[in-house]
Structure 1
Amino acid sequence: MRTLASEKLTLSSRWLSFAMLVVLHLALWLGTESLFMHPLLLMHLGLFLLWQPLWRGESKLHIGAAAFIIAISLIMTFLLNWWVLAFWVSVLFALVGGRVFSFYARWQRLYYLLMMAYLLTILILYIVPNLFHLLGMGDVMSNLMNFGLPLLLLIMALLPVEREQAESERAVDFIYILLLFTLLTLLVLGSLAFMTLGQLDYLDALLRTLFIIAIVLLALGGLWNPRLGFSGFQALFSRYLLSIGTPLEKWLEQLATVAHQEQDPEAFLEHATAYLVEMPWISGLSWVSDHGHGVLGKSSPHRIEMADQDLNLTLFSHQAVSPTVMLHVRLLTQLMGHFYQAKRREQSLREITRQQVIYETGARLTHDLKNMLQSLFALTSVAQHQSEKAQPILQQQLPVLTQRIEAILAKLKSPQTPEEMVEMPLATWWEGLRQRHPYRDIVWHAPKNVGRRMIPGPMFDCVADNLIDNACKKRQNELGITVSVTLEINPFSLSISDGGSAIPAGIAHQLLNTVVSSEDGMGIGLYQVARWATQSGYRLELSENRKGRVTFQLVEAK
């Protein structure tokens, strides 16, 4: 069976509650001896079922809930007395009090506060006096039922109507409900105790009971969040609510350990779910992601489904979970999902880094090959035009080219292996550089005593060959410009300059920081050599960029 509620009934819940109070007032005004009281109370119960915030209108009632409704109906019909009415009005007061703080609209909250005032008044000034057979309260009860409470109902009916969101219409705080019901029970029974033991009249006993309850609540309010160093009942109560008798701290420690040890996301998820299923209230679980799925434990009718991006988790519990356990479930699944997604991102970053290493290595090796082919072309040109000088030059340069070819082949076999820094004397490298470019009409500048400084030879070769090649290509388009290579020792710098046109400002700003599109070779090659220089402890920079003087300079990084 389904509860009879819909969107329209949800929006008109205020008028349902008002009609419920009017019917209750008529039933109590007629009295328990009236033949119309039972039908009116059944009508009141029906209006309560339409208004009640416990079951949603679209939800399916279980056998237990249906049995509870039938039992209440039978009690209203056959076992009706003032004790039952007192209990019922106390339950209504607690339910309304559990909802009143969920409303943010001013008039809506005022309406429910007046509803609480009506139920409290009719309980302590009409039902309880009839329950205790207080004959001296007759005039008070008569005036209350004939004039006071009808006037209050009229004021409630005239309040402006404001709509609330569906969540507010259904929000119920069970802690408030339990607290308010307990306070009403203490109020009624405490008044009875004062009347019996102290031989007091009802109003005096009622005031004394209210005074004692107010003092106790004031003391509890002071101890709830004190300012004298004591942590207060708030921290103790919150700790109690958040403790559900499960090894939460142990699971969090295991989760952190697995997150530290496991790099693979799926392996981490398998270990984390294996630890989670050890919780005493969990009978089993299943998970599904884009890269796999798994099932642990046993399924049950009580299931909780959670999702975090592409991870879908279903938990099976031994029994229906309480709101506190649901809070823990959300916390646990969010933590596990956070770690899982972090592992996925780490794996993606590792793959991107690996591809970047391969790409950068390939680009660097491509330029090395280009530079070596140009060196070979220069050597063959020497052999063709000046055969008498070719023999000593070939004897000097071919071993160097052989070493560079071997290094490139080794790098191609294992592109992810960190590149070793091969150092050589600066004087040897400088002489080899001059011999590789003997016929390119380059002006060389260097001090007579270069010294014994050690430099990373492959990196210097790559930087110098790229810059010299770019300058010589530029000279093919701008005839007559000079190309010079300058070596300075103190402070140390290697400069390659040309006397051509300046590099455009937009390209010059990005040239050594990223890949730029260019037709004259000043694109990815300079970006790669600039990164290599930075990794080797040097810095490649465009020191001059004007018409007639374009200079790239390699200096030590500070």
Structure 2
Amino acid sequence: MLLSLHALLINGLGNSLQTALIICHLGFFLLWQPVLHTKDKLSIRSILLLVAAGIVMVFFLSWWVIAFWLCALFALLGGRVFSTQAKSARLGYLLAASYLVGVLLMWVVPKLLNTSAELEAAKFLIEYLLPLIPIGIGFTKAAEEESGQPPILDFFYTLLLLMLAVILVLGSFAIQASSQAMYGEILVKTLLGLAIALAGISLLWNPRAGFSGVGQLLSRYLLSVGLPFEQWIRNIAELGESTSNAGEFTNAAMKELLTLPWVTGLKWDTLDGNGELGEQEKYQANLDFYDFHLTIFSKLPLTPALTIHLKLLSQILGEFYEAKRREETLRQTVYMQAIYETGSRLTHDIKNLVQSMSALCGAAEQAQEADSERLLALFRKQLPLLNQRLARTLEKLETPNKESSRFAKLSSWWNALRERYAEHYISFVTTEIAKTDVDVELLDSVLENLLQNAIEKRKMDTSIAISVEITAVQGVTIEVTDTGKPMPKHVAEHLFKKQVSSENGLGVGLYHAGKQAQQSGYELSLIDNRQGTVRFRLNKA
């Protein structure tokens, strides 16, 4: 391509070979051109553009047309330098770009300025030495890209190089027309002016301190596609805070997205439903993120930059949508957890009631005729208490979020507890009991839990002794001790913290007892866990 162009430039315009050389050069250019790929299907517009360019080059060829054509070739080759990843292939593009700059400055521009003296001085260099550069390209290594894909033309750098080349040509012409100076002086002034301008632009583009730079401002503009991107994100974040569920957020976000000037219609499909807004135009973009499917319609064709912007917007919407769905799932999980904890606590309360009734029934079965009066007194005292506890349990079932409390004298509760477990051979030790009121609902729940566990342990080892000791001077401290084997270490570490494995229960009794004690201002702890001494303590300062 470059050698056919060089032959055209040396032979000049108006000779018999002009048409043949320009057609040959255009043919080689079409084989090399980096704009259209071999697999692309040419549209009618592309074909008409290529035909029009060929007609201009063949029938209306002039030095001005050649000058702008060289500027375009220089920009295309320079753009390939920046977009080519293989370092070995850059040398060929650099040589080609150097040849185009050399022939433009030393041959074509002097022709435009009619500086024949300078042209004669460079004629030998142009005709015999400059063609060595295109020939040298044939000896460079043309490595393929590692990705296997054709290199992408960097549009921004290509446009920048085209502008620089055009400024170089037009600047030289303007300086010569205004000053009538020698071509060498014109070239020096033009190159020096371009160098100063590029240095100033580079300093403004990425300054070392202070001003953020034109590059950052341009990047922000390209990111927002000319819109207040930060404001749009702020609006979406506010919708995420104000809406209560994913479906409501999606509807509000779609209305916010429709306010963008290049969006005419929307269509979305999510797990919570689907919908449409606006008008469906010819151009559209289909975007998918997680379970968030969005179609955006626009009157204008969606450029690659705008498509990337749309993908970013859809990803932001998808992240907020997934966050809302996770929030709903978490609320549902917390709700189900509350139901589970309430149900398991009530189940344990009913279990304690059944065990208390079983104890009374056992006492009635073992009693003799002589014990009738004592047994009747026991029933008269304990059955109303069991009835009250059963009624409170039913109240909890109807209103699970309401914690009930029942206060009574500590001494009265202690005596009732001793009578209730009088038939289970449990040692009750009283150090000192002050005249104070306590929440007997809490104490019944926790103590019955501890005592029933100890009684179940004694069924497997009848030699186990159980004791309960109470001390109430400034605070209330109750200790339940058994002489059985200790708990396994892994069970003791997680006791009162979460549900643990249990051989004869659900494993949630002590967990709920610990939580219930904590909510009432008490502390339930395992203070001793060794062979022969397993001691629990419930205390309140």
Is contact 2:78-2:161 (8 Å) kept?
yes
Aligned to 1:531: 515
Aligned to 1:346: 327
Seq. identity, %: 37
Is contact 1:102-1:168 (8 Å) kept?
no
* 1:114-263 superposed matches below 5 A: 114-136=95-117, 137-150=119-132, 152-166=133-147, 169-227=150-208, 229-246=210-227, 248=229, 251-263=232-244
* CA distance 1:228–1:475, shift in 2 (3 Å): closer
Is contact 1:107-1:161 (8 Å) kept?
yes
Compute the TM-score of the two structures, normalised by the length of structure 2.
0.89
Matches of 1:375 and 1:546 in 2, distance apart? 29
Aligned to 2:94: 113
Aligned to 1:83: 64
Aligned to 1:10: none
Aligned to 1:394: 379
* CA distance 1:447–1:306, shift in 2 (3 Å): same
SS of the residue aligned with 1:101?
A: helix
Q: Answer yes or no: is 1:275 the counterpart of 2:256.
A: yes
* CA distance 1:241–1:452, shift in 2 (3 Å): same
Is contact 1:93-1:116 (8 Å) kept?
yes
Aligned to 2:471: 488
Is contact 1:442-1:483 (8 Å) kept?
yes
Aligned to 2:486: 502
Is contact 2:221-2:227 (8 Å) kept?
no
The more displaced of 500-509 and 429-438 is 429-438
TM-superposed deviation, 1:421: 5.2
* CA distance 1:255–1:535, shift in 2 (3 Å): same
Aligned to 1:545: 529
Matches of 2:170 and 2:58 in 1, distance apart? 26
Is contact 2:432-2:470 (8 Å) kept?
no
Q: Unmatched 5+ residue regions in structure 2?
A: none
Matches of 1:258 and 1:518 in 2, distance apart? 48
Matches of 2:136 and 2:410 in 1, distance apart? 99
Compute the TM-score of the two structures, normalised by the length of structure 1.
0.86
Q: Name the Cα RMSD after superposition.
A: 2.8
SS of the residue aligned with 1:158?
A: coil
Aligned to 1:442: 426
* CA distance 1:515–1:400, shift in 2 (3 Å): same
Letter in 2 for 1:288: D
TM-superposition CA deviations, 1:270-315 (whole Å, max 9, x none): 1110221122211101111233111111112211222211111111
Q: Answer yes or no: is 1:46 the counterpart of 2:27.
A: no
Residue-pair matches, total = 532
Q: Answer yes or no: is 1:407 the counterpart of 2:357.
A: no
Correspondence for 2:55 among 60, 74, 84: 74
Q: Answer yes or no: is 1:462 the counterpart of 2:407.
A: no
TM-superposition CA deviations, 1:424-458 (whole Å, max 9, x none): 55444433332332211111223332341534x43
Q: Answer yes or no: is 1:318 the counterpart of 2:299.
A: yes
Is contact 1:470-1:522 (8 Å) kept?
no
TM-superposition CA deviations, 1:447-481 (whole Å, max 9, x none): 332341534x4333222222211111111111211
Letter in 2 for 1:482: A
Aligned to 1:472: 455
TM-superposed deviation, 1:400: 3.0
Matches of 2:129 and 2:207 in 1, distance apart? 45
* 1:369-388 superposed matches below 5 A: 369-384=350-365, 385=367, 386-388=371-373
* CA distance 1:160–1:41, shift in 2 (3 Å): closer
Is contact 2:392-2:404 (8 Å) kept?
no
Letter in 2 for 1:397: Q
TM-superposition CA deviations, 1:198-257 (whole Å, max 9, x none): 222222211111101111221222233335533433344344434545465554344233
* 1:26-41 superposed matches below 5 A: 26-32=7-13, 33=15, 34=17, 35-41=19-25
* CA distance 1:488–1:92, shift in 2 (3 Å): farther
Q: Unmatched 5+ residue regions in structure 1?
A: 1-19
TM-superposition CA deviations, 1:14-57 (whole Å, max 9, x none): xxxxxx445444544554432431331221232134xx1x4454
SS of the residue aligned with 2:431?
A: coil
Is contact 1:493-1:556 (8 Å) kept?
yes
Matches of 2:102 and 2:225 in 1, distance apart? 39
Matches of 2:399 and 2:99 in 1, distance apart? 84
* CA distance 1:97–1:85, shift in 2 (3 Å): same
* CA distance 1:279–1:546, shift in 2 (3 Å): same
Matches of 1:106 and 1:433 in 2, distance apart? 90
Matches of 1:342 and 1:314 in 2, distance apart? 21
Matches of 2:145 and 2:509 in 1, distance apart? 65
Aligned to 2:267: 286
